[in-house]
Chains A and B, each alone.
Chain A
Amino acid sequence: MKKKKFISLSVLILLTGCLDTQIIDEILLIQTVGIDKHEENKLKYTVTYPFFLEQGEESTLNMEQLSVISETTEEARSLLNTRAQQPLRYGQVRVIMFGKEVAEEGLEKYVKSFYRNPRIGSQIFLSLAEGKTEEILRLKGEKQQRIGMYFSDLIEQNIEFENIPETNMHLFLFDLYSDGKDAILPLITKEGEEPKLIGTALFDFDRYIDNIDLNETYIFKQLRDGSEGGTSQFMVEHEGKKEYVVIENVFTDVQYKEKKRTPYPEYDIQVEIQGEITDNTGNIDLNDSNQVTKIEESVGKQIKTESEKLIKRFQELKVDPLGFGEKYRSKTRNWKPNEWKENIYPQTKSNVKVDLEILQSGAIE
C-alpha cells in the first residue's frame, strides 16, 4: 500500500513539469485587434496590449501598439511575436475592428478564425471602422493608455443606455449564418482626435453594404429588439413655432404580425414606446394633458414615417437586418432562401403603428 501511494504521489509531482506554463505577467494579452487592407491580398493587423513595467521602474500601465502585414490572424500573431518582448496571446481580446475595405470583401473568414480559436470569448465586440483601424486605434495622450478597455466600454455603454443595438461576436455569427436575417455591426470613425460611434453598418451575408446614421439607428433599435434605453430629439410644432423635445425610451415593445401572405406578405408592426421627456425648448406646458397628447401623436407619427422609410431602404438594399425572413420562414413549410431574397422580400409591405406614451417629464413643472 505504501509503495502504491508513493508511486501515485511521484507521478503527480513529476508530471507537472511537462507543460508550458503561461504566467500572467510573463505574457502580453492582446485587447484590441484591428484589421486593415494593405495592398493586394495582404492585411495589416494592428494590436494593442497593456504593458507592465518591471520592478524598479515607474509603476504605470503602458500601452503598446504594433502593426504587421500578413494573410491570416494566427500568422499575424506569430509575426507580432517577433517584435514583442514577451509572448502575445489572444486570450483577453475585447474588440476586433475591421477596416471598411476589408469588410467590403467579406468578413466571414476572419470572424471564423476568431470563432475557431477557443481562447477567444464569444461575447467580444466586433465593429467596423470608417477609414483605417490603425488610425482609429491610435488615441491621444492618456486615452492611449486605456485603449484596451476604451473601445469595449464605448460600445458596451452605448448598447446599454443609448442607441446602438445589441451586438457581439455570437450575435454576428448567428445573423450571418441565419438565412432569414442579415448581420449588423456598430460603425466607428475618428473625428479629429476622438473616436466616435456614428451608426450601424449593414451587411449582406458577410459583405459590408451600407450604413445608417445614429438617428436611424435609434429607430432601428426599437424595431429590432424592442429595447430599453435610447434617446432621440424630435421636432414638434407648438403655437406655430418649431420646438424640440428630447424623448428617452423607458421601455419599448415591438410585435410583428403577418397580415397577409399572398401574393406578397404584409406585416403589421406594432411599436409601443413608453418614454420620458427629458428636455424641451420653448414653452410647452407639460402638465397639460392635451399638449402632451399632441406631442405623443406628433412624435409617434415621425417615428412611424422614419420606420417605414428605413424599412424601404433596407428592401432597396436587399438587406434584412430586421429579420423579416426569419418571421416568414417560421410560417413556411417549403422555405427557399433565394426566392425570398430575390423576389419576395423587396415586395414585402409593412405598416408601422407607433403607440407612444409619455410617462413623465422630469422634476419641474
Chain B
Amino acid sequence: MHSKVKEQFQVSPPMVFFLIHAMQVGVGMLGFQRIVAKYSGYDSWIAVLIAGVLISILISMMYFVLKTNHNDIIEIHRNLFGKWAGGVLSLIIILYFYALGILVIRTYIEVIQVWVFEDMPTWILALLAGYFFYYVIEGGFRTVTGLCVAGVFIPSILFFVLLMPLQYADFLNFLPVWKHSVKNILLGARETTLTYLGFELLLLFYPFIKDGQRSQKWAQLGHWASVFVYTLLMFVTLSFFSEGQLDMTIWPTLTLLKVIEFPFIERFEYLGISLWLIIVIPNIAMAFWGASRGVKRLFSIKQRYVIIVMMIVMVFILPPLDNRQAVNTLNDIISQIGFWVIVAYITFIYIVQFIVQKIGRKRSS
C-alpha cells in the first residue's frame, strides 16, 4: 500500500519551519521553568540548551528513517515489523497523539479557570473546542498548516514583551555557573525535552511535504528557533525569581507577565493568556490531526468520521479531569510516554532501519 499524497494537498518545504516551531512552542511554555529548575536550579538554561542539541539529533534520525522509506510512520512500521506488530506500534503512537491533544487542551482550560474565569465549567470549553477542531481538521492538512503559520506570527509580539521583566533581573543568580552535578543537569534536560515535544508529528505529516527530503534544514531551523525562545525565556525567568520563589510558582511565565504594566492595561497577564490561545490552537489541531490521520491510514476509515468520534470522546473525557491533581497526573503520564516515544523509540527505529538497510545492501551486492 503505497499511498502518495496528491500535490494539491501538500505544503512547501519552508512550511515545515512553522509546523515544527508552532508544535514545540505551546502550553508547556507557561510552566516548564519550575519543573526544570527542580533538578538543575539556576543552571537550568544549560539543561535547555543540552535538550535542544539532543532533539536536533533526533530530528536528523527521523529524517534518515523517513527519507529512506518515503512514507509515514504507519507504513514504516508495516515495512519493518510486519502487519500485526507494526499495527500495534502504530496504534500506540496514535493513542499518544490523541492523549497529547487532550492534555494540551485540558492544561490550557486549567489556566483559564485559575486565572480568568474561575466559574467556567470545563464542558463549555470542551464543547466549543470539539466543534472548532472538527471544523479545522476537516479542512485538511493545509488548513492546519495555516493555523501554525498564524500561531507563530501573531503571538510573536509576546516574546518582546517577555523581555520587560528584566527590570527586576538579578544576574547574580546565575553565578557560579554549572554548580549542579552533571546528573542533575541531565535530569533537567530530560524534563526540558518534554516541552520540546511535538516535533515527532513529523513522522505522520512527512508525506505532505513537497520534496520532503529537502525540508530537513527547515525543520532544524524551526527547532532552533524554539530552542532560542525557550533559552531566552528560561534566562529571564531565572534572573527574575529567587529559587524558593520559582519553586512554588506553577506558571512562572504568567507571573512574569504580571509585572508588565502599560498605561492602557494594568495587568498584562490577561492579555497574555488570551494571546496564548493562538499559540495553543495549532498544537491541539496538529495532535488531533495526527491521531485521526493515523487511524485513517491504519484502518482505512474516512478521516472525517474519525475526527467526529474523537471530538465526541474528548467532550466526555475532559470534564471528569477537573482538578490540579488530575491534570498533574495526566501531565506526568503523557510526559513519561512522550519522553520514551521521542527519545527511546526514535533511536530504536533509527537503529532498526539502519540494520535493515545494511542487510539489504549486503544481499543485493
Enumerate chain A interface residues (CB-CB to B < 8 A): 7-8, 11, 15, 18-20, 112, 118, 121-123, 170-171, 173-179, 181, 323, 326-327, 329-333, 335
B243 touches A178 (CB 8 A): yes
- Alpha-carbon separation in the docked complex, A20 to B116 (Å): 12
**Residue from the list A15, A177, A330, A335 in contact with B242, Cβ < 8 A:** A177
Q: Is the CB of B267 within 8 A of A121?
A: yes
A332 vs B172: C-alpha distance when bound (angstroms) = 12
Taking Cβ atoms with an 8 Å cutoff, the residues of B that contact A are 114-115, 117, 119-121, 124, 127-128, 131, 168, 170, 172, 175-176, 179, 241-245, 247-248, 254-255, 258-259, 261, 266-267, 269
14 contacts between A and B (CB under 8 A): A8-B131, A11-B128, A15-B128, A18-B124, A19-B117, A118-B115, A121-B258, A170-B168, A171-B168, A175-B242, A178-B242, A178-B244, A323-B172, A333-B176
- In the complex, what's the smallest C-beta–C-beta distance from A330 to chain B, in angstroms? 4
Contact A19 B120 (CB under 8 A): yes
Of A15, A18, A118, most buried by chain B (CB within 10 Å of CB) is A118
- Inter-chain residue pair count (beta carbon < 8 A): 68
A20, A112, A174, A175: most-surrounded residue (chain B CB, <10 A): A174
Task: For the complex, give the distance between the alpha carbons of A20 and B117 in Å.
Answer: 9
Set A7, A123, A174, A323: member contacting B245, Cβ < 8 A: A174
- Report Cα–Cα, A261/B242, bound state, in Å: 24
Contact A174 B168 (CB under 8 A): yes
Residues of B within 8 A of A8 (CB): 131
B243 & A122 in contact (Cβ 8 Å cutoff): no
With both chains docked as a complex, state the minimum distance between the C-beta of A259 and any C-beta of chain B, in angstroms.
18
Residue of B nearest to A15 (CB): B124
Central interface residue in A123, A171, A181, A333, by most chain B CB within 10 Å: A123
Residues of chain B within 8 A of A174, CB atoms compared: 168, 170, 241-242, 245
- A118 B242 Cβ-Cβ under 8 A: no
Interchain CB contact under 8 A, A327 and B168: no
Taking a contact as CB atoms under 8 Å apart, the answer to whether A330 and B119 are in contact is no
Q: Which residue of B lies closest to A20 (CB)?
A: B119
CB distance from A352 to the nearest CB of B (A): 20
Question: CB-CB < 8 A to A177: which residues of B?
Answer: 242-245, 247
Minimum Cβ distance to chain A for residue B19 (Å): 27
- A173–B243 Cα distance when bound, in Å, is 11
A333 pairs with B179, CB closer than 8 A: yes
Closest to A166 in B: B168
